[in-house]
Amino acid sequence: MTRKLLFLAALLSGPATASPPKLLPLPSHVTEHRGAFRLSPSEAIRVPPRDQGAASAARYLATLLRSSNGLDLKVRQGSGAIRFVRARGFAPEGYAVASDPHGLTVSASSDAGLLYGAVTAWQLASGDEPNVIPVVAIRDAPRFRWRGLMLDSARHFQSPAFVKSMIDWMAWHKLNVLHWHLTDDQGWRLEIKKYPRLTSVAAERVPATAGARKPPVYGGFYTQAEVRDIVAYAKSRHIQVIPEIDMPGHAQATVAAYPKLGSMTGPTPPVSSSWGVHTYLFNIEPATFRFLEDVLDEVMAVFPSQYIHVGGDEAVKDQWKSSPLVQARARALGITDPEALQVWFTQQIGRYLVQHGRRLVGWDEILQPGLSSDAIVMSWRGATGAHSAAIAGNDTVLSPWPTLYFDNRQSALASEPPGRTRVISLEDVYRFEPRDPTLSEAQQKHVLGLQANIWTEHIRTEDRVEWMTLPRAAAVAEVGWTKPERKDWKGFLQRLAPTMARYRALGLHYADSVFAIDGRVFVEADGVRASLANQASFGAIRYTTDGHDPAPQSPQYSQPLKLPLGTELRAATFADSERVSSVWRRKLDADSIARRSSRELHLCTDGVGLLLEPDAFGTAPRPLMALDIMNPCWIYRGVDLTQGARLTAAAGKLPFNFEIGADAQKIRVGDARTAEGELEVRIDGCEGEPAVVQPLAPLPDNALVMTLPAVTLPARPGRHDVCLRFARPRLDPMWALDWVEIRQ
């Protein structure tokens, strides 16, 4: 029987009864039939002669299978059970995958389609049963043409090797745009040969600390050779790299290197070590535009992207208003409104880019009367910018805060790394819908897609970039690729489990927050009551009390556990027989239950809630402290004060390195009674006279935290909330709690 007849026989045998293949993002059309194709090490991948795109996609599939499945398949033009075929009739990024018991074929019209078909073939081969590909017929194409991530390398620098790694895992998710944020107040990261001080001065900063000693200078930049290599690597994965050179704001690092570009009247600033919205803007002199055009010339020489992002956001106009030079130039131009002056600024840059065959992209602040119709608006202040841009006839990309801002943590668990305390869960991202039903069909075409942003003010390491991005990037991928009527949250979670197995196989430091155990422990008269849950209410939670990690055969949690004091409880989430979360461990003794980290306490307010760690010397672990920088106040809930209690706390100092403008005046300072301030303890409320006032001593040299002397809380019947707040003599530095222990 011929191979074609075998395939038809498999189709006629009817759909399989097994669960469908767990593919992510979910394809447009999947039909599964009985049977399977079993890959062996002797198989080969066949490509058409002289088809470089097909050969590249085939080599990529071979590389993925080698990394995850341990296979070493050869790519050749002769025979092979896996075939790549160039065919007409597919959408620009569309493809088909068809398998039968004897092999698999990937078909597409474009190189990108062939690569995405290769990724789907890899997922089929690395599913529940590695190297076993179900008999399927898949026809697929993306919903949106812009499916992106933004990487902020200005605040914290990532190595070229990491950027390449990120490009790879973007390709695995069929993401196709890497927006690379390369300049900001805290650093300039791109070599510009005509202006060497941009890397000798603007690429380095002295980090802020709360002590007298300063840590080593922090910095880094990408040479043009490194960028060309990264861009070429991305092109081979069909990812467009779009550089961002921020202007007219976020310019402090640039002005530190070349002060004549600035609008300030005072001294030259340093490269900033603070976070927030700064006030340094480029001036509008002809020499400044020549500088920016020179920079853009070198940027365009190393980035072939059709798009160049020029920022345009958070341009506080105070310096423009107070600068005689800027005001004189504005009068000569006949412009009296500072906002109109930024429109004029953007127009000059936009025209220069158009002259060189490029299109300007900017954050939604650029959407003002007079914006050129070829400019692309990236809507970050919600979705209203995208709506207005589409109505105005501008292409737009949805990137709204907070849902697509990945510096927000993924859960409220203490395992989350530094970032903002706001929780943007995997489900929040998955349920984001880019389509605006109020737009006409013609206006809808201006919505190019969506992008999530990885701002790295508080994400200092590459491992943490991965944690904060994965698996939320998988949700972005499915929102951008899969039609909304095919999306299914529970089905996504089922398909996420093998995706996480691939993450592990390829060494990625991903977050398990959606499946991680949220364990709550309560002391009762006859022992301890423990409740277990996970964010998604997914899978089976299994637990042990014998000191061993849970296994698929361990008891399944169904209701709160009554356990004797001293038990060691371990728990994890399982999908079928596979563990999909880390193991949660808790010693249920008096010490463990009494102590809560600042991350386990409740913030009294959430003005600017952050998870922060102090800068320090060496590689020793740093404490991670949760606080609202507008109000250093925490609540320890449900304390039994019937017989009084002893409270012990550990505290450290953090620099107040935040540019928050007039909001800084809202922070209560100057209410301290002593030179270092006091820890005020109140019961059942955070106002009024404190029950205990504990004076603070200076933090020992080089210490990150210190344990404060224990204090006695007065006896009161029943359980009460205990509020802890620092009174402080000045804004900088600020005291923060590391942990609090309250015991009888």
pLDDT tens, 680-728?
999 999 999 999 999 999 998 778 899 999 999 999 999 999 999 999 9
Please state, rounded to an integer, the average pLDDT across all residues of the chain.
94
Q: Are 514 and 493 in contact (CB under 8 A)?
A: yes
Q: Active-site residue 314, yes or no? A: yes
Average of pLDDT values for 598-625? 86
What per-residue confidence (pLDDT) applies to 744? Answer: 83
Average of pLDDT values for 532-559? 97
What per-residue confidence (pLDDT) applies to 3? Answer: 40
Residue among 32, 93, 168, 184 flagged as catalytic? 184
- pLDDT above 50 (res 15): no
- pLDDT above 90 (res 18): no
Q: Active-site residue 102, yes or no? A: no
CA distance 429 to 369: 32
Q: Rounded to 5 degrees, what angle do the CA atoms 180, 185, 191 make?
A: 55
What per-residue confidence (pLDDT) applies to 614? Answer: 81
Sheet containing 692-695: order of strands: 602-603, 633-640, 719-727, 678-683, 692-695
What per-residue confidence (pLDDT) applies to 68? Answer: 92
CA distance 172 to 104: 19
- pLDDT above 50 (res 461): yes
Q: Are 490 and 30 in contact (CB under 8 A)?
A: no
pLDDT band at residue 19, thresholds of 50, 70 and 90?
low
Measure Cα distances from 112 to 126, 166, 449, 529, 550 in Å.
Answer: 21, 18, 17, 54, 43
Q: Are 577 and 520 in contact (CB under 8 A)?
A: no
Q: Are 423 and 599 in contact (CB under 8 A)?
A: no
Question: Number of H helices and number of E strands within the chain?
Answer: 18, 42
Q: Are 542 and 571 in contact (CB under 8 A)?
A: yes
What per-residue confidence (pLDDT) applies to 617? Answer: 56
What per-residue confidence (pLDDT) applies to 7? Answer: 37
- pLDDT above 70 (res 146): yes
Q: Active-site residue 29, yes or no? A: no
What is the pTM assigned to this prediction?
0.95
What per-residue confidence (pLDDT) applies to 524? Answer: 83
The residue with greater pLDDT, 447 or 127, is 447
pLDDT band at residue 591, thresholds of 50, 70 and 90?
confident
Read off the pLDDT of residues 390-408 as tens digits, 9 standing for 90 and up. 999 999 999 999 999 999 9
Average of pLDDT values for 450-457? 98
Residue among 314, 488, 640, 659 flagged as catalytic? 314
Read off the pLDDT of residues 511-520 as tens digits, 9 standing for 90 and up. 999 999 999 9
- pLDDT above 60 (res 8): no
Residue closest to 87 by CA, chosen among 69, 63, 111: 111
- pLDDT above 60 (res 5): no
Percentage with pLDDT > 70 across the chain: 97
Q: Are 500 and 579 in contact (CB under 8 A)?
A: no
What per-residue confidence (pLDDT) applies to 616? Answer: 59
Q: Are 464 and 471 in contact (CB under 8 A)?
A: no
Q: Which helix (H) or strand (E) holds 572?
A: strand 568-575
SS3 (DSSP) at 583: coil
First to last CA, the chain: 81
What per-residue confidence (pLDDT) applies to 11? Answer: 37
Average of pLDDT values for 727-744? 95
What per-residue confidence (pLDDT) applies to 618? Answer: 58
State residue 225 phi and psi, 5-degree precision. Answer: -65, -40
Q: Who contacts 710 (Cβ-Cβ below 8 Å, separation ≥6)? A: 646, 647, 648
- pLDDT above 90 (res 1): no
CA distance 265 to 322: 8
SS3 (DSSP) at 183: strand
CA distance 358 to 309: 10
- pLDDT above 90 (res 215): no
Residue among 250, 387, 446, 720 flagged as catalytic? 250
Read off the pLDDT of residues 34-85 as tens digits, 9 standing for 90 and up. 999 999 988 999 999 999 999 999 999 999 999 999 999 999 987 889 999 9
What per-residue confidence (pLDDT) applies to 620? Answer: 67
- pLDDT above 50 (res 13): no
Dihedral sign (CA 473, 475, 477, 480): negative
